[in-house]
Amino acid sequence: MILEKNSHPKLFPGDIVEYPRNKYFSHFAVYYGEKDGVPYVAHLTCRDSDSKLPLFGRALRSEVKLDPLELLGEKYKVNNMLDSTHPARDFHGVVKQAIDDMMGREVTFDILFHNSEHQATLFRYGVKKSEQIEKVYKHIMPAWKKLFEKKKL
Protein backbone atom coordinates (compact mmCIF):
# COMPACT_ATOMS: atom_id res chain seq x y z
CA MET A 1 0.00 0.00 0.00
CA ILE A 2 1.41 3.40 -0.94
CA LEU A 3 1.04 5.99 1.77
CA GLU A 4 -0.68 9.12 0.64
CA LYS A 5 -0.78 12.27 2.73
CA ASN A 6 -4.55 12.21 3.32
CA SER A 7 -5.11 8.47 2.93
CA HIS A 8 -6.31 6.78 6.10
CA PRO A 9 -7.25 3.11 5.95
CA LYS A 10 -10.28 1.66 7.75
CA LEU A 11 -9.08 0.31 11.07
CA PHE A 12 -10.47 -2.51 13.17
CA PRO A 13 -9.59 -3.16 16.83
CA GLY A 14 -6.47 -5.33 16.94
CA ASP A 15 -5.05 -4.15 13.61
CA ILE A 16 -1.34 -3.40 13.59
CA VAL A 17 -0.74 0.22 12.56
CA GLU A 18 2.64 1.05 10.99
CA TYR A 19 4.04 4.58 11.13
CA PRO A 20 7.04 4.81 8.75
CA ARG A 21 9.95 6.75 10.29
CA ASN A 22 12.76 6.35 7.73
CA LYS A 23 13.69 3.90 4.98
CA TYR A 24 14.73 1.24 7.52
CA PHE A 25 12.45 1.60 10.52
CA SER A 26 8.84 2.15 11.39
CA HIS A 27 7.03 2.53 14.69
CA PHE A 28 4.22 0.03 15.30
CA ALA A 29 1.05 0.18 17.37
CA VAL A 30 -2.17 -1.78 17.80
CA TYR A 31 -5.48 -0.09 17.07
CA TYR A 32 -7.40 -0.04 20.35
CA GLY A 33 -10.64 1.58 19.24
CA GLU A 34 -12.35 4.87 20.00
CA LYS A 35 -12.76 6.66 23.29
CA ASP A 36 -15.12 9.65 23.21
CA GLY A 37 -15.00 9.61 19.40
CA VAL A 38 -11.16 9.74 19.27
CA PRO A 39 -9.34 6.73 17.74
CA TYR A 40 -6.56 5.34 19.98
CA VAL A 41 -3.60 3.02 19.52
CA ALA A 42 -1.57 1.09 22.07
CA HIS A 43 2.17 1.24 21.51
CA LEU A 44 5.50 0.63 23.20
CA THR A 45 7.20 3.93 23.82
CA CYS A 46 10.89 4.24 23.06
CA ARG A 47 11.68 7.68 24.49
CA ASP A 48 11.24 7.26 28.21
CA SER A 49 14.84 6.41 29.08
CA ASP A 50 16.75 8.47 31.63
CA SER A 51 19.60 8.72 29.14
CA LYS A 52 19.35 11.07 26.18
CA LEU A 53 20.93 8.51 23.86
CA PRO A 54 19.76 5.00 24.71
CA LEU A 55 22.74 2.65 25.05
CA PHE A 56 22.87 0.22 22.10
CA GLY A 57 19.26 0.97 21.20
CA ARG A 58 17.86 0.37 24.69
CA ALA A 59 15.54 2.62 26.64
CA LEU A 60 15.07 1.19 30.10
CA ARG A 61 11.88 2.98 31.08
CA SER A 62 9.62 2.31 28.16
CA GLU A 63 5.98 1.44 28.63
CA VAL A 64 2.87 0.50 26.72
CA LYS A 65 0.75 3.63 26.31
CA LEU A 66 -2.57 4.54 24.76
CA ASP A 67 -2.32 7.60 22.54
CA PRO A 68 -4.57 9.17 19.93
CA LEU A 69 -3.96 7.53 16.54
CA GLU A 70 -2.69 10.65 14.78
CA LEU A 71 -0.50 11.79 17.70
CA LEU A 72 2.07 9.25 16.49
CA GLY A 73 1.93 10.53 12.92
CA GLU A 74 -0.45 11.46 10.17
CA LYS A 75 1.00 8.89 7.75
CA TYR A 76 0.23 5.32 8.68
CA LYS A 77 -0.99 2.06 7.22
CA VAL A 78 -2.44 -1.23 8.41
CA ASN A 79 0.26 -3.89 8.41
CA ASN A 80 -1.06 -7.18 9.75
CA MET A 81 2.11 -8.79 8.45
CA LEU A 82 1.67 -12.26 9.94
CA ASP A 83 -1.98 -12.85 9.01
CA SER A 84 -0.98 -15.38 6.34
CA THR A 85 0.99 -17.52 8.82
CA HIS A 86 -0.55 -16.85 12.27
CA PRO A 87 -4.16 -16.45 13.36
CA ALA A 88 -4.98 -13.08 14.91
CA ARG A 89 -6.09 -13.39 18.52
CA ASP A 90 -9.57 -12.22 19.52
CA PHE A 91 -9.36 -8.51 20.32
CA HIS A 92 -12.12 -8.26 22.92
CA GLY A 93 -11.42 -11.63 24.54
CA VAL A 94 -7.61 -11.57 24.63
CA VAL A 95 -5.79 -8.58 23.08
CA LYS A 96 -7.62 -5.74 24.87
CA GLN A 97 -7.03 -7.42 28.24
CA ALA A 98 -3.33 -7.97 27.40
CA ILE A 99 -2.97 -4.28 26.51
CA ASP A 100 -4.82 -3.15 29.64
CA ASP A 101 -2.60 -5.42 31.79
CA MET A 102 0.58 -3.91 30.28
CA MET A 103 -0.46 -0.28 30.75
CA GLY A 104 1.91 1.54 33.09
CA ARG A 105 4.33 -1.37 33.49
CA GLU A 106 7.97 -0.63 32.89
CA VAL A 107 9.32 -2.46 29.81
CA THR A 108 12.83 -2.53 28.37
CA PHE A 109 12.70 -1.23 24.81
CA ASP A 110 15.51 -2.87 22.89
CA ILE A 111 15.80 -2.25 19.15
CA LEU A 112 16.89 -5.86 18.54
CA PHE A 113 15.03 -7.88 21.14
CA HIS A 114 11.91 -5.98 22.19
CA ASN A 115 10.79 -3.05 20.06
CA SER A 116 7.38 -1.67 19.05
CA GLU A 117 7.00 -4.25 16.25
CA HIS A 118 7.73 -7.11 18.66
CA GLN A 119 5.13 -5.71 21.07
CA ALA A 120 2.49 -5.26 18.34
CA THR A 121 2.90 -8.81 16.99
CA LEU A 122 2.89 -10.16 20.54
CA PHE A 123 -0.46 -8.47 21.20
CA ARG A 124 -2.09 -9.42 17.86
CA TYR A 125 -0.72 -12.92 17.34
CA GLY A 126 0.84 -14.00 20.63
CA VAL A 127 4.14 -14.26 18.70
CA LYS A 128 7.11 -11.93 19.10
CA LYS A 129 8.50 -11.06 15.65
CA SER A 130 10.15 -8.09 13.96
CA GLU A 131 10.54 -8.21 10.18
CA GLN A 132 12.35 -4.86 10.08
CA ILE A 133 15.04 -6.12 12.49
CA GLU A 134 15.50 -9.32 10.49
CA LYS A 135 16.25 -7.17 7.41
CA VAL A 136 18.92 -5.03 9.11
CA TYR A 137 20.32 -7.62 11.55
CA LYS A 138 22.78 -8.94 8.97
CA HIS A 139 24.30 -5.44 8.91
CA ILE A 140 24.19 -4.90 12.67
CA MET A 141 25.73 -8.20 13.76
CA PRO A 142 29.16 -7.76 12.06
CA ALA A 143 29.54 -4.32 13.66
CA TRP A 144 28.87 -5.75 17.12
CA LYS A 145 30.86 -8.99 16.74
CA LYS A 146 34.10 -7.61 18.22
CA LEU A 147 32.24 -5.97 21.09
CA PHE A 148 30.58 -9.33 21.92
CA GLU A 149 33.93 -11.14 21.75
CA LYS A 150 35.56 -8.58 24.08
CA LYS A 151 32.52 -8.76 26.39
CA LYS A 152 31.88 -5.02 26.01
CA LEU A 153 28.30 -5.48 24.88
* Average pLDDT for 121-142: 84
pLDDT over threshold 70, residue 2: no
Provide the number of structural domains found in the chain: 1
End-to-end CA distance of the chain: 38
Q: pLDDT tier at 4 (50, 70, 90 boundaries)?
A: very low
Q: Give, for 146, the enclosing helix (H) or strand (E).
A: helix 131-149
* pTM confidence score: 0.79
- % of the chain with per-residue pLDDT over 90: 52
Closest CA to 28 of 109, 117, 103, 111: 117
The answer to whether residue 2 is domain-embedded is no
Contact, 126 vs 22, CB < 8 A?
A: no
* Average pLDDT for 148-153: 71
Amino acid in position 146 = K
CATH number at residue 131: 3.90.1720.10
Domain range for 79 is: 15-150
Q: pLDDT tier at 5 (50, 70, 90 boundaries)?
A: very low
- Report the residue count for the chain: 153
One-letter-per-residue 3-state SS of 9-34? CCCCCCCEEEEECCCCCEEEEEEEEE
Q: Encode pLDDT of 18-64 as tens digits.
A: 999 887 788 999 999 999 999 999 998 876 555 555 555 565 668 89
The answer to whether residue 10 is domain-embedded is no
Sheet holding 38-44, edge to edge: 77-78, 16-20, 26-35, 38-44, 58-68, 106-110
pLDDT over threshold 80, residue 68: yes
